[in-house]
Structure 1
Amino acid sequence: MSKFINWKSNWLSGNFQLFADGVQKGMITFETWKSNAESMLEDKNYQFVNEGFWQSSTKVIDRKTGGVVAVITYDSWKSKALISLNTGEQYEWKSTGIWKSQWTVSNYKDAHIMYTSGNNSGAISSDTDNNLLIIAGLFIKQVYHKRAVLIIACIVPIISTSTLRHH
């Protein structure tokens, strides 16, 4: 079954709204100053809770049962992540576009989700109806985006200070 979802995001907060056929079907809401998030898509409601230094992993909790349904682990050097479901299935998230405007979630067998982004909006094309995987793909993108912003925020003052000292 193919699913087509459009999304819009608020650049400042990083929150997402998800639409199918022009009707809002879901959202992802991030905590201020953290990458933890609450999400909902159709009848599924998940909480994403980051753990470890530099948020090296994320537990995904089903809000209806309170159980952990997946763990996301990040490969910070390659902009990749592994989504491990509690069923034992594993899916890889990776960036495929040169400008980080395209990415995929796939098990390289029967589930493949493609994401594209433009200016604070984009589209999702999925051949699986697993809402957890669809939401996780956007969540991971935002985690890497927040990391990039943090790195830039730390590096720019250092470069500016060292440049000013040499003049």
Structure 2
Amino acid sequence: MSRFINWRSNWLSGNFQLFADGVQKGMITFETWRSDAESMFEDKNYFFSNVGFWQSQTNVIDRKTHEVVAIITYDSWKSKAVISLKSGEQYEWKSAGIWKSQFTVSNYKDAHITYSASSNSGAISSDTDNELLIIAGLFIKQIYNKRAIILVACIMPIITISINRH
């Protein structure tokens, strides 16, 4: 069964709204100044909690049971991540295209979710009903967006100083 979901985001906060057939079905809300997030999609409610100083891992906690239902591990050198479900299943998140405007979540067998993005909106095409995977794909996108912004913020002063010295 294919599902089609549209999403919009607020560039400043990074929050997402998810729509199916024009009706809001979910959202992801990031904490201010942090990368932790609360999400709801249809009847599922998850909390994404980043672990460690470099935030190389995220625990996904089911709000109803308070159990860790998935762990997301990030590849610091590439735009890739692995979503490991409590059941033992693993899914890979990876970006595609030069502008990183498309990305996928897949187990390369029976679950494949494709995301496309423009500036503050996009579309999701999924052949799985797993709400956690659908939400996790957008969450990971925002984590990599925040890392890129931090990298630019750190490099720009160095470039500015270098240019002003000459």
TM-score using structure 2 length: 0.99
Q: CA deviation at 1:78?
A: 1.0
Residue in 1 that maps onto 2:124 = 124
**CA offset digits 1:111-141 (Å, max 9, x no partner):** 0000000120000000000000000000000
Instruction: Report the secondary structure of 2:147's partner residue.
Output: helix
Equivalences, count: 166
Identify unmatched segments of 5+ residues in structure 1: none
SS at match of 1:66: coil
Q: Secondary structure at the match of 2:98?
A: coil
2:145 maps to 145
Separation in structure 1 between the aligned mates of residue 119 and residue 152 of structure 2, nearest angstrom = 20
Equivalent AA in structure 1 for residue 125 of structure 2: S
Deviation at 1:53, TM superposition (A): 2.3
Q: Secondary structure at the match of 1:113?
A: strand
Gap regions ≥5 residues in structure 2:
none
| Partner of residue 16, structure 1 | 16
Matched, 1:65 2:69: no
Partner AA of 2:30 in structure 1: F
| Cα distance in 1 between the residues matched to 2:2 and 2:69 | 23
Give the whole-Å Cα distance in 2 for the aligned partners of 1:131 and 1:145.
22
Distance 1:60 1:119 in 2: 27
Cα distance in 1 between the residues matched to 2:64 and 2:5: 23
- Which amino acid is 2:161 matched to? T
Deviation (angstroms), 1:163: 1.2
Indicate the percent of aligned positions where both proteins have the same amino acid.
79
C-alpha distance in 2 between matches for 1:159 and 1:53: 26
Match for residue 160 of structure 1? 160
CA distance in 2, matches of 1:12, 1:90: 31
State the TM-score, normalizing by the size of structure 1: 0.98
State the alpha-carbon separation in 1 of the partners of residues 153 and 74 from structure 2. Answer: 21
Q: Distance in 2 between matches of 1:47 and 1:140?
A: 13
Secondary structure in 1 matching 2:108: coil
Distance 2:159 2:98 in 1: 25
- Structure 1 runs (4+) greater than 3 angstroms displaced: none
Alignment RMSD (CA, Å): 0.5
- Opposite residue 123 of structure 2, the aligned amino acid is A
Does residue 47 (structure 1) correspond to residue 47 (structure 2)? The answer is yes
Separation in 1, partners of 2:3, 2:63: 23
2-structure distance, mates of 1:76, 1:145:
13
* Superposition map of 1:69-148 within 5 A: 69-148=69-148
Partner SS for 1:139: helix
